Every structure is written in C-alpha cells, then in structure tokens.
Amino acid sequence: MIVDMNHNKTISLEMREKLSRIKHLALDMDGTIYMGSTLFPYTLKFLSDMKEAGIGYSFLTNNPSRSVADYLKKLEGLGIQADEDNMYTTSLAAIDYIKTHYPSAKRLFMLGTPSMVSQFEKAGFEACADDPDDVPDVLVVAFDMTLEYSRLCRAAWWASQCVPYVATNPDKVCPTDQRTVLVDCGSLCRCIEHATGRRPDITLGKPDPNMLKGILDRHGLQPDEIAMVGDRIYTDTAMAHNAGAFGVLVLSGETTLETAEAVAEDARTNPAPEFFPPDLICRDIKELGELLLMARNK
C-alpha cells in the first residue's frame, strides 16, 4: 500500500488492523533516521512518540565495522539516547548465529576491523592469529577497512580447509561520498570464492531473515508484531518478506516512488519476481508514526 503523498491519511481497515498489531520497529539507519551525519528533523519526535505509545524499536545496520559501543556514540552525537538493547548489527547477528549453530566454538579467524573484533571478544570469543597452526573453530569474513593481504590469504586457506565459514553481510560495496570504492564483505567473499571455490556457509545481514529473527527472539515477538522500516527494497523490505514480518519502505533515502511502483508492477505480472513490494510505503518515518498512532486510536 502507498500512502497518499498529499497527506491523505485514510487507510483500509485491513491495513489499520495490521498496524495495530505492531509492537516493535526494526529501523534501518542511514536514509531512514538520518542521512550521512545529519539527523532528519522529525526523528527525535518520532522516537519519543513511539516510546510513549509503547512501541519498542531497534536500530539495524548491515555495516559490522563498528562495535555496538561505537554506534551508540554516533547516535548520542546525533542527539539519540539509546543503549545496547536498541542496537542490532550484523556482528551481533553473527555472534548469535555462531553461538546457536556452533555452541562449542571459541576461537575465530576474523577479517574485520579492531572495533568489530572487540565486539566478538566481548561476547567471549578469541581471535586466532595469522598462523597455519592456530586453527579456528569458525572463519568470519566482514567489511574490513584494515584489511591486510596476508590475512585475506589466511582466510582463503581456512575456507579451503572446510572450516565453518560465516559472512556478516552480502554488500559488495559500502556507500561513501568520497572519491573511492569501499570494497565490502560481499566482494571479499567473492575473492575467496574465486581463489578456493568455497562460498560462505551463511551470509547474514539484510536481506537474510536471521537478522530479524535475532530481534524477535530477543524481545519475544511474533513476525507480525514487528515492522522492518528502511529505504531499500532489496535489503530492508526484502528481509521483512523473508522473515514473514511487516515491511515499510520510506522514501527518505535511496529508493524513489517510481522504483517502488515498478517493483510492485513486476510482482503483479511476474510469477517469480526478483523482489516483493513492501506492505506499506511512506514518505518518511514521520508519516509512519502518524499512521501507527492512528491505528492505535481506532
């Protein structure tokens, strides 16, 4: 459903019922609550209104290069008060996944920034050295802006040795306003694949549903009680669809209304569309907040 951009907030009874069931919001960050380093003017009121209405929220990001503590510092610098319960990153998703599927794993070989490695160490894991005799329980490949060639080669070696292999996110590049290309986790994994023939056993991060599952488990929620809110159809609302959750596309970031309508048309005519349209399209989170409050005042 697309909300009337002329501020007509009339919604169907079915949509009102769906919105009234929402107890928690999974919020994408860049393009949804801020743009770059600039907070949207309506974000603080939106968060305050949601808290007052009893709707919880978590901030999600596919970028694992910062620890939760570092992300919380950034949010604080933007005027947002949050704690660890409000953050869920692909690092946390990987930690939860490893603890669930490899409960005896302790030592990890990680391609990742020192900030990311500190997040894993805080969770009780140990980092393996770049040494063929220091065999890891799990190989973790992430967005690593401190990448050293020898460590990339070591990661490829462990991949070739059939060590369990987890990738934190599928992104090929990280967005930047600088005149460079920030090679992200997905491209590092393709490099390892080209060298060894091995793909990750699991690639976490949006659109993989494990990221939302982590929030559902953390808060004891059912899929129809959480809304994934973001500005990208191929990651944010695709993850909502994959998890059976409610997907909200906001037009404050990357995706235009024209692109969203094209995706909706493709889903109507194509029996196997590449992407499914979101359940709801809003101009921004301000408009979403108004709809959520309206649904609760039925």
Q: pLDDT tier at 225 (50, 70, 90 boundaries)?
A: very high
Of 10-19, 20-29, 133-142, the least confident? 10-19
Structure tokens at 252: 């404050």
pTM of the model: 0.84
136 lies in the same domain as 51: no
Nearest partner of 15 among 169, 274, 246, judged by Cα? 246
Instruction: Specify if 163 maps to a domain.
Output: yes
Mean pLDDT over residues 139-143, rounded? Answer: 97
Asked if 158 and 253 sit in the same domain, the reply is no
Q: How far apart are CA 68 and CA 23, in angstroms?
A: 23
Per-residue pLDDT at 6: 45
Whether residue 28 is found in the same domain as residue 51: yes
> Does position 272 have pLDDT exceeding 60, yes or no?
yes
pLDDT-derived band at 297, boundaries 50, 70, 90: confident
Per-residue pLDDT band at 1 (split at 50, 70, 90): low
pLDDT tens track for 20-70: 999 999 999 988 999 878 899 999 999 999 999 999 999 999 989 999 999
Query: Checking phi first, is residue 265 left (phi over 0); if not, alpha (psi -120 to 50) or beta?
Result: alpha
Q: State whether 108 and 196 are in the same domain.
A: yes
Mean pLDDT for 272-285 is 92
11 or 199: which carries more pLDDT confidence?
Answer: 199
Nearest to 228, CA basis, from 11, 214, 4? 214
Judgement on whether residues 115 and 159 belong to the same structural domain of the protein: yes
Q: For position 177, what pLDDT does the model report?
A: 66
- Picking from 151, 170, 203, the residue at the C-terminal end of a domain is 203
Q: How many domains does the chain have?
A: 2
Domain end, chosen from 174, 203, 232, is at 203
If pLDDT is split at 50, 70 and 90, which confidence band does 5 have?
Answer: very low
CATH of residue 146's domain is: 3.40.50.1000
Residue 211, pLDDT above cutoff 90: no
Are 250 and 211 members of one domain?
Answer: yes
Q: Specify whether 193 is located in the same domain as 102.
A: yes
Statement to judge: residues 158 and 242 lie in one domain: no
Structure tokens at 72: 């919380």
Mean pLDDT, the chain, integer: 93
pLDDT digits (tens, 9 = 90+) for 64-109: 999 999 999 999 999 999 999 999 999 999 999 999 999 999 999 9
* Residue 254 confidence (pLDDT): 85
Residue 103, judged by CB atoms within 10 A of its CB (0-12, 13-18, 19+), counts as exposed
- Predicted pLDDT of residue 2: 55
For the chain, how big is the Rg over CA atoms in Å?
20
Same domain, yes or no: 96 and 194 = yes
> Can you give the residue range of the structural domain that contains 198?
92-203
Asked if residue 185 and residue 102 are part of one domain, the reply reads yes
Say whether both 196 and 231 belong to one domain: no
- Higher pLDDT: 248 or 272? It is 248
